């Protein structure tokens, strides 16, 4: 990666990286890093915010965002390069107000957390998470990939946080004995304060979140390997708390917030690999909208009965029926309240019962 491209990545994403100042129970202070993934949602490492008081969150870098269309016509600020003037909006750094969180990955051993801030600038830069899920990667897909590491390690003799960026490359892609998910080892030196930091690839995708320095014999952090956890646990953490921004779910359809159970014919042979999936019941809830997805590929009458009993449970919310394909129907409601969630769970239970009466059972049931 040449210096020009590295500088471009810094200018594009520095405004998406925040420091997280914390106070430990013993009164000592600490600092970590977080990065914006859209809609005011930030990702960090769990150990940065777990069991401590978050005393301040802030962004130190300001950003110029180019404007287009009507916004460009109303612009009052321009960046001048030679004879060319580009209308821009200034996203200024400053202290952010915590609105909700921190929220943790459902597995306490996974070092990922998230929080949401209030009133973030609508033009604030955000980082697109990569699509490199654990099972989709080959053994060394990212080895020697060039990247930029962003973080807020405490710099001696300074009086406030400063964003530090470093060019690096992926030295190894590996699995670890004591933790889940794919990790990457970077060629740069690990330092305290980089925890929760952003690693952006030359293709402008988040490689993952900085979690730890891998070291032995209680050595100093700077003597270890800089470890970065891949993106799959980030998606899981965000979706489990209904925090996944719409800009991050593009390309995944509704993969992250759809909880499905698969149906089998009770009369089929029970031997290994002998049971064929014939249908499914799935509940989708992303915190903004909900739907029940019902499918049955072998009996349309059974599917219609399941839809009817589900619609009866959802009647107060006027569900909208959407045919995805022959044999698969979704019942949509454009709200996601506790009341609606209860109605959908009752609808799911009723549909499951209707299908069970017709001889279709969920995996693990008799």
Q: Is the same domain home to 123 and 16?
A: yes
**227 in a domain, yes or no?**
yes
Most confident of 73-77, 82-86, 274-278, 304-308: 304-308
Burial of 293 (0-12, 13-18, 19+ CB in 10 A): buried
Structural Rg of the chain based on CA atoms: 24
Q: Is the same domain home to 313 and 281?
A: yes
**247 in a domain, yes or no?**
no
Nearest to 41 by CA among 18, 72, 63: 18
pLDDT band per the 50, 70, 90 thresholds, residue 222: very low
- 79 phi-psi bin (left φ>0, alpha ψ -120 to 50, beta other): beta
* Domain carrying residue 349: 253-362
Lowest mean pLDDT of 223-227, 300-304, 331-335, name the range.
223-227
Q: Is the same domain home to 140 and 265?
A: no
Please tell me whether residue 263 adopts helix, strand or coil conformation.
Answer: strand
**241 in a domain, yes or no?**
no
Q: Cα(288)–Cα(242) distance, rounded to whole angstroms? A: 8
Residue 37 in tokens? 């993934």
Q: What is the mean pLDDT of residues 99-110?
A: 93
pLDDT, position 331: 95
Q: Report the CATH number that the domain containing residue 347 is assigned in CATH.
A: 3.30.1360
Q: Which residue has the higher pLDDT, 311 or 85?
A: 311
Nearest to 151 by CA among 95, 192, 182: 192
Each residue of 158-195: pLDDT tens digit?
A: 889 999 999 989 988 887 766 778 888 888 776 777 88
pLDDT, position 268: 54
Q: For the packed helices 300-314 and 338-357, what is the interaxial angle rounded to 10 degrees?
A: 150
Q: Report the CATH number that the domain containing residue 68 is assigned in CATH.
A: 2.40.10.120
pLDDT, position 293: 94
Q: In the beta sheet, which residues pair with residue 272?
A: none
Do 192 and 161 contact (CB within 8 A), yes or no? Answer: no
Lowest mean pLDDT of 104-113, 201-210, 227-236, 248-257, name the range.
248-257
pLDDT, position 217: 41
Q: Cα(210)–Cα(33) distance, rounded to whole angstroms? A: 9
**244 in a domain, yes or no?**
no
Residue where one domain finishes, among candidates 184, 209, 235: 235
pLDDT, position 219: 43
Q: Cα(351)–Cα(309) distance, rounded to whole angstroms? A: 6
Q: First vs last Cα of the chain: how many Å apart?
A: 58
Nearest to 339 by CA among 285, 261, 281, 295: 285
pLDDT, position 274: 53
Q: What is the pTM of this model?
A: 0.82
Q: What is the mean pLDDT of residues 139-167?
A: 90
Q: Is the same domain home to 217 and 296?
A: no
Do 288 and 249 contact (CB within 8 A), yes or no? Answer: no
Residue 54 in tokens? 């978050």
**282 in a domain, yes or no?**
yes
Q: Is the same domain home to 37 and 150?
A: yes
Mean pLDDT over each residue of the chain, to the nearest integer: 87
Q: What is the mean pLDDT of residues 303-321?
A: 93
Residue 52 in tokens? 């401590």
Q: Which residue has the higher pLDDT, 253 or 221?
A: 253
**186 in a domain, yes or no?**
yes
Q: Is the same domain home to 215 and 93?
A: yes
Percent of the chain topping pLDDT 70? 92
Q: Is the same domain home to 229 and 295?
A: no
Percent of the chain topping pLDDT 90? 52
**DSSP single-letter state for residue 268:** S
Q: Is the same domain home to 112 and 148?
A: yes
User: Which residue has 């020009």 as its token pair?
Assistant: 4
Residue 264 in tokens? 């089998």
pLDDT, position 192: 72
Q: Is the same domain home to 169 and 300?
A: no
Domains held by the chain: number:
2
Nearest to 329 by CA among 349, 364, 300, 289: 300
Burial of 256 (0-12, 13-18, 19+ CB in 10 A): middle
Nearest to 281 by CA among 335, 358, 337: 358
Q: Is the same domain home to 226 and 257?
A: no
Q: Which residues contact 4 (CB under 8 A, 6 or more apart)?
A: none
Do 340 and 290 contact (CB within 8 A), yes or no? Answer: yes
Do 261 and 280 contact (CB within 8 A), yes or no? Answer: yes
Each residue of 344-357: pLDDT tens digit?
A: 999 999 999 998 88
Checking if the pLDDT of 95 tops 60, the result is: yes
Do 180 and 111 contact (CB within 8 A), yes or no? Answer: no
pLDDT, position 213: 57
pLDDT, position 220: 46
Q: Is the same domain home to 222 and 281?
A: no
Residue where one domain finishes, among candidates 187, 206, 235: 235
Q: Which residue has the higher pLDDT, 58 or 363?
A: 58
**246 in a domain, yes or no?**
no
**245 in a domain, yes or no?**
no
Q: Which residue has the higher pLDDT, 271 or 242?
A: 242
Q: Is the peptide bond before 102 cis (omega within 30 degrees of 0)?
A: yes
Most distant CA atoms of the chain, gap in Å = 76
pLDDT, position 24: 93
Q: Cα(347)–Cα(353) distance, rounded to whole angstroms? A: 10
Q: What is the mean pLDDT of residues 60-86?
A: 87
Q: Is the same domain home to 149 and 111?
A: yes
Residue where one domain finishes, among candidates 178, 208, 235: 235
């Amino acid at each position: 990666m040449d210096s020009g491209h590295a500088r471009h990545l810094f200018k594009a994403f520095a405004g998406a990286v925040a420091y997280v100042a914390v106070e430990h129970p013993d009164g000592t202070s600490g600092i970590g890093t977080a990065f914006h993934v859209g809609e005011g949602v930030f990702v960090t490492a769990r150990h940065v915010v777990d069991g401590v008081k978050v005393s301040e969150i802030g962004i130190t870098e300001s950003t110029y965002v180019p404007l287009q269309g009507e916004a460009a016509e109303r612009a009052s600020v321009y960046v001048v390069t030679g004879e060319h003037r580009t209308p821009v909006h200034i996203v200024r750094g400053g202290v952010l107000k915590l609105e909700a969180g921190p929220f943790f990955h459902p597995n306490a051993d996974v070092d990922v957390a998230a929080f949401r801030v209030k009133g973030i600038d609508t033009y604030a830069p955000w980082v697109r998470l990569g699509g490199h899920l654990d099972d989709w990667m080959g053994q060394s897909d990212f080895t020697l990939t060039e990247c930029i590491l962003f973080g807020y390690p405490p710099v001696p003799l300074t009086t406030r946080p400063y964003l530090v960026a470093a060019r690096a490359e992926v030295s190894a892609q590996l699995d670890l004995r004591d933790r889940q998910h794919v990790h990457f080892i970077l060629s740069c030196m690990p330092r305290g304060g980089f925890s929760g930091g952003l690693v952006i690839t030359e293709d402008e995708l988040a490689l993952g979140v900085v979690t730890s320095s891998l070291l032995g014999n209680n050595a100093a952090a700077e003597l270890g390997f800089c470890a970065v956890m891949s993106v799959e646990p980030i998606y899981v953490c965000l979706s489990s708390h209904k925090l996944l921004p719409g800009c991050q779910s593009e390309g995944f359809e509704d993969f992250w917030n759809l909880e499905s159970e698969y149906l089998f014919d009770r009369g089929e042979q029970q031997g290994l690999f002998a049971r064929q999936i014939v249908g499914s019941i799935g509940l989708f809830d992303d915190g903004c909208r909900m739907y029940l997805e019902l499918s049955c590929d072998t009996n349309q009458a059974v599917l219609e009965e399941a839809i009817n009993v589900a619609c009866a449970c959802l009647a107060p919310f006027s569900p909208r029926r959407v045919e995805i394909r022959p044999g698969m129907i979704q019942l949509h409601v454009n709200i996601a309240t506790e009341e609606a969630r209860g109605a959908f769970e009752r609808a799911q239970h009723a549909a499951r019962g209707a299908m069970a009466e017709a001889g279709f059972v969920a995996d693990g049931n008799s």
